[in-house]
Chains A and B, each alone.
Chain A
Amino acid sequence: MKFHISKKKVISILLCTAAIFGCCSCGSPAAGDPGENPGGKEMGRYVEDTVELGGEGGSFTGMVQEGEKIRLIDLYGMDMVSADGGKTFEAAETVPTAPAGEEGGVSYVAVAGNPDGSRILSGYTGQGLAWRLAAADGSVIELDAVGENGSPSFYSGSDCFYMSCDYGIYRVDSETGETEFLTECASYPLALASNGELLFVAHTSGVLIYDLQKNEAAQKQDEVLSSFFTGKLEDILNNPSSLFLYPWGEDIYVLSHDGIYCHELYGEEMVCIVEGSSCSIGNIDSGFAGMAVTEPDDGGNGEKIFTVLYTDGRLMRYTKDESLPAEPEVSLRIYSLYEDGNIRQAVSAFRQKYPELYIKYEVGVNPEYGVTREDALRNLSTELAAGTGPDVLVMDDIPFGTYAEKGVLEELGFLREGMSEEEYFKTVTDGFATEEGLYVMPLTFAVPVLAGEAGEMAVAGKPESLSQLADILEKVSGQREAQNGQAESVIGFRSAEEALRLFAQSSMGAWCTEEGALDREAVTEFLTQVKRIYDIQIKSIPESMQYSYLSGMDWGSGENALARRSGSYGLSEELGKCMMLFPGQPFCAGYLSSAVEDFPMTLGRLKQMEGEYVQMPGQSFGKCLASTLMAVNSSSVHPEESRLFMEYIFSAEFQGSVSLNGTPVNRSAYLQRQKNPKEGSTGPYITMGYGMADGSVTTLEIYWPSEEDYGNLDQLMDGISGVNDCDYRIYEAVTVLGQAALTGDASIEETVDEIEKTLELYLAE
C-alpha cells in the first residue's frame, strides 16, 4: 500500500501541530520561571522605604557613591556616610578645612562633593560669588579662574569634579583645583554624569557623550538616550532637579518624575524599572539631589537597589520585593482632567502613610500627545460606562452635575457626617450640596478680595456690587487725574481678558439659572459693569502696556487649578505686578489663597502700600472659589480604600502638613498654618527684591503676620457664604467672547447674543 501525501498537506499538518502546541503552552509557565509564581501571576515589585538618618538629619545637597560607600554631602560639611549600600548612615568625619558656616564674613556652602570628602564650596563675598575647593587633605584652594567665566554649575565625579559654565564643559582636579577645558556643548548643559570613561552631558538639545580617554566627543552618540531626554525637557526646564543621570557599567540609569529607567548604552530601549506614579518619585513638587545604585547582598536576580536623595532632604530606598505581585491586588486610581499639584501631594503623602496600598494618579489631558479636554472626557466616559473607571475623581472642569445625576458619583455622606463646624469650613465643604445630596467636596478654596490703600478703602467702604466698585473707581480716577494732570492706573489689569477673569472670580456663580440655562440679564449686567471699570483702567495706562499678560502663559498645563481658571496666582501676584508696574495704584484685586507662603507675602506687600482688604464686590458677593473638587466613583472597585483616601486628604494630618494651592477646607489645618515656621526669630520671614519699571531694584522685607492680621483673615474666612462656581463652557464663553464688548468691537447686546448663540446647542443638549 502506498500513501501519497502532497507537500501542501505536510506543511498544513506541521503548521496545525505548531499552532496546537503553541496554544497549549499559553498560560502555563514552565516550572521555575523566574518572576512568576505557580499561579502564573508575575511577581516582584519595587517598594519604597524611608531611610532614617537619625537626629535631625542635615541639609544635604548631594549624594556620591563609590562602590557600597555612599556619602551624603551636607551644605556645611556635616556629611553622613553609609558603608552598607544605603541601609544605614552615620555621621562622617567632617573635612576639617571645610569652612562650616561663617568664615571671614562669608558663608560658604557645598555645591558638589566627592566620595573622598572633597567638595566645591560657594559663597557671596563683597565682589560677588566666590568658589573654593576644599580638598580631602584639608587644603582649601580658591577657584579664581572659574569666577571669571560667569556662573558655573558643578557635578560630582569620582576623582575629580565636572563643571559646566555657559556652553563650556570643564574638569576640576579635586586635589589641585586645576581647571581643564574639555569641550563646548552645542546647547545649554543641564546635567553631567560620568562613569570614569565617558562623560554624559545632558543639554537642551539632547545628550552628548564625551570620551574622557580620547578627550573628544565619542564617535558614537546615543540617539535613544538623547530623544528620551529631550522628551523630558519641559519638565526639566520647569524644575532643573527633575532629572538625574547615573552611569553604571554598560548601562545608564535615568531618574525622572516618570520613574527610574535603565538604558543599555547605544541600545534601543529605555526600560522603566520603577514607575514614578507608584511612589514619591512621581511627585512633581519634589526634586532629586542624588541617586545611588547598589546591588542586594544576595546578588538578587540582577535587580538593583536605588537610593534617592530628594531636594527636601528625604532619603528613600527602592528595593524589589519578590514576594509581592508585580501588579498589586489593590490599586487605587485617582483621576483628574488636568495636572493638580494638590493631588500630587495627596497621593505622595498617602503612599507614605499607607505603603501597602498601591495608588496611581492619572491625568486626562495631555498636550504633549494632543489629548484635549474633550478627548480626555470621552475616554473617561468610556471607562465609566465599561465599569473600569477611576476610583477617585477630581471634578475640576468636569460637569459633575451630570455625573452625579447619572449615578456615577457616590454620595459623600460618609465624609460629611464626621465634619463639624468647628473643624471644617462647612460653607465650603457643603458648597455643592443639593437636595439629592453632596457628591463633590473641594479640597481647598480661595476668597476673592479687593485690596487698596487704607485711605481709599475707608472712603470706598465695603462695596458689594460691581456697579458700586465702578462708581468708586470713576471717582478716584477723576480725583487723581485732577491732582496729577494725567490718568493713573487704578486697579491693575491690562487687557479685557484679564478684567473679565478677575471679576468673574466674584461673579460667575450668577451667570447660570437654577435650571442650568444662561442668565442673560446677569451676563449683560456683568459685562456692562466690567466695561465701565475697563474703560477707566485702560485709558489710565500707556498703550505699550495694554496687552494681555495671560496670553503668554500656559495655564492649561499648570498644576494650580485656581490659577488655571483665573489666569492669575492671586492677590499676591497682582500686588507684585502693581508694585513693579504701577506704584501708587490705589486698588488691587485677586483671590487670597492664604497658603503658607502666600498670605504673609500678600500681607507684606499690602503693608508696604499701607493697605487693607475686603471681599471682592461682584454678582456672587461673599462666595469663594473652590478647587480640587473631590468625588468618589460609585462603582469603585475599591470602595473602602477610596473612602480611606478621601478621609485622609481631608484630615488635619494631611492638610496641615503640606503646602496646598489654596486654603485648606480643614479649619484645624488652616489654623496650624498660622504658626510661624521660624518661631522666635525677630528678623524678616523673607526678603525679596523687585525690579521696577524704571530699572531700579527695591527690597521688601516680609514679616510673619501678627495675631491681629490672622484675626482679620479669620473674619474674612468666616464670612464666606458659599461657593462661586460656573459651568466650564459658560465661563469660557463669557470670558472669551465678552472681550469684544469691553474693547468696543461689539455692543454688549451683540456680545450677549453671540454668547447665547455659542452656548445654545450645548445648553439645549
Chain B
Amino acid sequence: MKNSPLSFFDEMQINLADTDAASVRAIYSDYNLWLKSVPHHQLNSKRQEAELLFRRVGITFNVYGDDDGAERLIPFDVVPRILAAEEWSRLSAGAIQRVRALNMFLHDIYHRQEIINAGIVPASILANSQYRPEMFGVDVPNQIYAHIAGIDLVRTSESQFYVLEDNLRTPSGVSYMLEDRKMMMRLFPELFRRYSIAPVDHYPQVLLKNLRAVAQDGVHEPTVVVLTPGAYNSAYFEHAFLAQQMGVELVEGSDLFVQNNSVYMRTTQGPQRVDVIYRRIDDDYLDPLVFNADSMLGVPGLLSAYRNGGVTLANAVGTGVADDKATYIHVPAMIKFYLGETPLLENVPTYELSKPDDLAYTLARLPELVVKEVQGSGGYGMLVGPAASKKELADFRLRIIANPSNYIAQPTLALSTCPTLVEQGIAPRHVDLRPFVLSGKTVTLVPGALCRVAMKEGSLVVNSSQGGGTKDTWVLQEAIVDNSSASATLDNNVEEAVTC
C-alpha cells in the first residue's frame, strides 16, 4: 500500500501538489521566499559545510553492531521545522502536564499504590520487568523521579498532535537540539534576523539548576556529576557535551566508589564527595551488586547508598515502569486521577495484544498497523505494516502469536512531513518532535525540541540508529501576521513554568 503524498499534513505546504506561494502556510511564507531565492547548490554546500564542522567538533555517534566501530555523523538537515508560538504553548503545557502526572504515578507506584487500589491501572504492572521492587518505600528528593523526560510527539493534521511515547529513563538527543541551533545560526544568520526565534541555549543552565535543587536535604553546595558508560557509548558526545556545558565532571563508573553510604570520586587531591549523579547508564548496569553482576560500567554499592539517601540519582531508579508501552495506555487516566485535569495531549489509539479481541483485530489488519515490542526502543524490533514485505509480515505474525503480550499495535499514523534537502532538491520527509521536560523545583522546558526526520522517501522511522536525521526546531516568539486572522503577540516569557 502506497500512500499518495496528499494524504499527509505538510508543515510548510497546504497542498503539496501546489507549489505556488499562496499554498504556503503563514509561518513558513517568509522562509519560503528565502528558500526560493537560494540556489540548490548553495544549500548543498551549506550542508557540506555543516558536515565538516560536525565532524571536526566530533559530534558523532557510534552504531552498535557496526564492525569498524567508526564514529558516524547523524545527518543534519538545513531546513528548519517551524512552530508557531501558540502551537508551542499548547504542546509545552501538554508535555508539562504529562510529566507531572508521570512523576506522581512513579511516586505512587513505589509507595501507597493508590492508582492500583482505585482500579485505574492493573496490579499486573507490578510484575513488569521495569518495576524495581528495590525502590518500594524509598523517598526521593521533591518526589521527582523523571528529572529529564523526552516526550515524543507526532503531528497528523493542523491541530492534531499525538504522544507517541514517553522517554523517562535516559532520554538522549538534547545535544542535537542545541548543536543544530548553533549550526543554523552559523550557516544562515540572515534568517535569524528575519524571524524572532526563541533561544534554547540556556538548557544546560536550567538542567544544572534542577540537578542542584534535588540534592539531599542539608547539602548546601552540591557536587553534580554526569555518569557515562564511556567514550564508546553511542551517546558519549552528548554526555561530554552536557558535562562541559554545565561545568561539572564527566565520570565513569570506575571513577566513583561508595563508602559509608556516601559516593566519592577519585580525584588528584584524594576522594571528593558526590551529591547528585546525572546518570546516563541504564538501571541494569548501575550497580553490579544489585543488578547485572557482569556490569563493568556501574559502581558497587551505589544502590544501597542511594536508597539510604546518600546520593541523588537523576533519573531515579525504576522510571522504566512508567514509560513502558504497556503503561503508556494509562497515562491519560493518570492525568485525570492525579491532577483532576483533562489531558491536553492525546495518546495514539493502542491495541494491547495480551487482550484476545485486540489480538484478533491486529492479526486481521497487520498490513495496516504498526506493531512494537512492549520493551523495545530505538526503532528495533518493530513492524511498520504498510512498508513491510509479505515475508516480513508472515514472520512477524508468528512472533506475535508466540508471545502476544510482548507486543502492542497502533494504527499507522500519517506523520506530518517537512521540507527537507535531499539529493534531488527540497522534498517532503516525515518528522517527529521530542521536547525535553525538566523537573526540579519547577517543571520547565526550553522552547525547542529535537526534530528527527526520516531521510528516506516515504519512511516513517526517524530513529538515528535507522538512518534518521535531525533538524533545528524553531519556536517563534511572536505570532505571525496572517491575512486571515488578527495578530497576537505572546509575552516574552519563553519558559513555561508550573510550580510543583
Are A and B physically bound partners?
no
Residues on A close to B: CB < 8 A?
none
Residues on B close to A: CB < 8 A?
none
